[in-house]
Structure 1
Amino acid sequence: MFGAVGFHRVRIVGEQATRQQAPVLAVAPHSSFYDGLAAVVTGGPTIVAKEENSFIPLVGRVINFTQPVYVRRDDPESRHNTIQEIIRRVKSDQDWPQILIFPEGTCTNRSCLITFKPGAFYPAVPVQPVLLRYPNKLDTVTWTWDGPGALKLLWLTMTQATTTVEVEFLPVYVPSEYEKQNPKAFAEGVRNVMAKALAVPTADYTYDDCRVAVKAGQLGLPMTSNLITVERLRSRLGLTRIKIEDSALVKNMLSFQNRASQPVDLAEFASNLNVTVEDGSLVSLFKMHLEDENLSTIDFKKYLLAEYLLQKATPKDDLIVMAFKLYGEYFDREMFEYVLNLVYNLPKSEAFVIYSEATGNPNEIKLVDYLQYGKKYPEKLELLQNHSKSTAPRTVTDFSSCGQSMSAAAVVDDNKKCQ
């Protein structure tokens, strides 16, 4: 199959270790669906892959022959089960093949190595790093979040006379006693060795960061915003590992309906999220949502709205209705302008026009007023729906009311102080 596409030159550098020497093969950088060629070169080992791959016509059947470990990347329980299955196989007395895994967990453009997921390193067994290079004049293989699709890359590769790939086997990496007890440190050690061999830097981004960044882009937010920092903090607190239907986010959306809007301090914030107030990540998350550094409270309902918009696949108009219900089915003008800016990236001046057209009350607008306005002017609501797609990206301040701009480094410093 690879030969038909044009991979006529496969250079092998180094020597592959046996299963006894290294039960796990860690392959990087992961930049293309063509990286599957590594499984061919290494003799058809068991691979760890996203579950969607099993449904690819023909290729999915080939993958199934390797007795793969499939993972649903957005399901925390699936991740846990994947780790347990990897541990079971590499420590089994049975004749399992080596396990091949792309520890980055997603495709990049090979300009750096992003954070290695620790799943391959939990068994605390020796790992052989495997490098992939595509030393071609034209790059027709890179398949990233913001680039050509699979069919276009397939066509472009087939138009080349030949495509070269280089597979290099590095010496087996044997973990230290500390790394055996700390899978993340083990993963970091292997990544550093591979980055040095590739002569590329490392970058502390993950698949989850990419997912947040893409979602932010869909909402008209800058890809480099502090949203990634916010979501990392929520991840450390375990808030992103809970199914959305069972999370504190949804429970608070329901419990805070029709309750008077009141600021919450750090202790109340911790209580609402079911997190200990001493947690350094919670302190940093709280600070990220302070509208004024001189304040000691945040608007918890605004926090809920911002997080719900990012986490839940809810139509934007439904989110407006939900926001109304969260505030007792009415807003004052300022809050109405805030919500339309949050959801639709609408400037306050334009939101004020809608407010004036929807109600004659200078002090408040009710949900029923907004719904009637939508029925009366459906074309205006349609324009509103498409507004964020045609406007400049917002800042994180506009999105989550973060008055302070805190860098990831500042968050780390805060965590160290609290620890």
Structure 2
Amino acid sequence: MWITRLCARCILFSFGYQWIKRKGRPAPREVAPIIVSNHVSYIEPIFYFYELFATIVASESHDSIPYVGTIIRAMQVIYVNRFVQSSRRQAIREIKRRASCDRFPRVLLFPEGTTTNGRNLISFQLGAFIPGYPIQPVIVRYPHVHFDQSWGNVSLGKLMFRMFTQFHNFFEVEYLPVISPLDDKETAVHFRERTSRAIATAMNAVQTGHSYGDIMLHMKAQEAKQENPSSFMVEMTKVESLFHISSTEAVDFLAKFLAMHPDPSGRVQYHDFLRVLRLKACPQSAKIFAFIDVEKSGTITFRQFLYGSAHVMTQPGFHQACEEAFAGCGGAVKAFIVEQEFRDFIQPSSPSWNEDEAHNLFMLFDDNNDGRIDKDDFLSCLRRNPLLIAFFIPQPQQKGLDVNEVIEIV
């Protein structure tokens, strides 16, 4: 194993990191079995392997990164798929198992879950804090004048090339005091907050409500060639806390929003909003759009679209309203509804719609184009397009349903 560590040192040297400035000291493994660090570049896993011989928690995709992938595998990596709950649970169990036994190396986590510019912190994931073991926070810095070494909007190949062609690159590491759980009753969330504050204070940085989910949104907007992809970042930590929707769901909402062809400023016009949701301009459609358009500007941003959609979807009566809508359309007596039943049910909320316009909305629900909508397809479509529930809310006289308890836009 010492040969692999020597290779790691040679890689650091070849990338221009001949002198590494250190402040503080790493705590003994028995004192702090878990290390957390901010994450700026792909250099940190190589350094920590050389310096601490630590086990890293990493995404499976990192295994294929040149040089870094080899080092990660040698670090007895704990792989995790952050989008699969069972994988996250398994990773936490493995972190706890290794941290509890002195036979294993330290466990290293980058709780931000992605690289940042090194000047700010984004929200920490909970994985390092749930096991409840003492943690040593570590800070890395890359002082520079001409070449920013952070792995942001630059390809890995270009970043490596710039490092190779620069005679010397600067790298600093600072070991902070160990942070231990206050007692058995301290939550992982509070433990995380204390640790992130310590790191942010030492960095003299601001911690934002952004998370890896915002990186996903940024990349999606970039793929769509939006002029300002950062305007589609919404501080997913706050969104998840407020509405309990996942980053994957937020990316799905962004895909729908991008289909509305936002202008260079990232705003969508009313007619494009109607086109994608297959709606006709009518009082009910106008009411839905006005609910999202909180600025009353006649256009909406992705943040407004996401917040409005998520707010509706997380209303206490939303799922009940979806179930009752399917039953009211004809699903109470059979396992599917047909187009005529669909049209008859939405007619009270859209009396001006003609047959073709109602058919267009029906086809949004009829995924397999077989002329009928089963319950799973109906409920799934409303989860993807929660604003449409406004057209399916039963009238107040039906079953005594209080519409205002279900959704605020009707």
TM-score category of the 2 structures, normalised to the smaller one: 0.5 to 0.7
Give 1:21's match in structure 2, choosing from 11, 14, 31: 31
In the TM superposition, what is the alpha-carbon distance from 1:20 to its structure 2 partner? 0.7
Q: State the SS of the aligned residue for 1:118.
A: coil
After superposition, the Cα gap between the structure-2 partners of 1:218 and 1:152, relative to the gap in structure 1 and judged at 3 Å, is closer
Q: Output the CA distance in 1 between the equivalents of 2:53 and 2:155.
A: 26
Which 5+ residue runs of structure 2 have no aligned equivalent? 1-10, 253-283, 286-306, 323-337, 364-384, 391-410
**Distance in 2 between residues matched to 1:200 and 1:402, nearest whole Å:** 43
Aligned pairs (5 A) from 1:102-251: 102-144=110-152, 147-177=153-183, 181-215=186-220, 222-224=231-233, 230=239, 232-235=241-244
Distance 1:213 1:400, change over 3 A: farther
Larger RCO (CA under 8 A, 6+ residues apart): 1
Report how far residue 195 of structure 1 moved: 0.9
What residue in structure 1 maps to residue 70 of structure 2? 61
Task: Name the aligned partner's letter for residue 18 of structure 2.
Answer: H
**Distance in 2, Cα, partners of 1:54 & 1:168:** 27
Deviations 1:380-416 (A, max 9, x none): xxxxxxxxxxxxxxxxxx996899xxxxxxxxxxxxx
SS at match of 2:52: coil
Take 2:32 and 2:125, find their aligned partners in 1: how far apart are those partners? Answer: 18
1:88-110 Cα shifts (integer Å, max 9, x gaps): 11112x51111111111111112
Partner of 1:97 in structure 2?
105
**1:11 and 2:21 matched:** yes
Deviation of 1:11 (Å): 0.9
Shift of 1:6: 1.3
How far residue 175 of structure 1 moved from its aligned partner, in angstroms, is 2.1
Give the whole-Å Cα distance in 2 for the aligned partners of 1:207 and 1:60.
20
Is the 1:115–1:206 contact (alpha carbons within 8 Å) kept by the matching residues of 2? Answer: yes
Deviation at 1:156, TM superposition (A): 1.4
Q: Take 1:212 and 1:114, find their aligned partners in 2: how far apart are those partners?
A: 15
Q: Which residue of 2 aligns with 1:77?
A: 86
The alignment partner of 2:128 has SS state of helix
Pair 230,134 (structure 1): closer, same or farther in 2 beyond 3 Å = closer
Match of 1:310 in 2: none
Q: Which amino acid aligns with 1:6?
A: G
The sequence identity of aligned pairs, in percent, is 29
The 8 Å contact of residues 135 and 180 in structure 2, kept in 1 or not, is answered as yes
Secondary structure of the structure 2 residue equivalent to 1:113: coil
C-alpha distance in 1 between matches for 2:176 and 2:236: 37
* Partner-residue secondary structure (3-state), 1:26: strand
Tell me how many residue pairs correspond in the alignment: 280
Partners of 1:234 and 1:285 within 8 A in 2: no
Distance 1:2 1:181, change over 3 A: same
User: Secondary structure of the residue that 1:120 maps to in structure 2?
Assistant: coil
Q: TM-score scaled to structure 2, two decimals?
A: 0.57
Contact 1:16 1:42 in 2 (8 A): no
Rounded to whole Å, the distance in 2 between the matches of 1:131 and 1:227 is 24
Are 2:80 and 2:91, in contact at CA under 8 Å, matched by a contact in 1?
Answer: yes
The alignment partner of 1:8 has SS state of coil
How far does residue 228 in structure 1 lie from its aligned partner after superposition?
7.5
**Structure 1 unmatched ranges of 5 or more:** 245-261, 264-283, 291-295, 302-323, 336-360, 371-397, 404-419
Distance 2:30 2:240 in 1: 40
Distance 1:227 1:12 in 2: 34
* Structure 1 length-normalised TM: 0.56
Q: 1:363 to 1:78 in 2, by over 3 A?
A: closer
Paired residue for 1:395? none
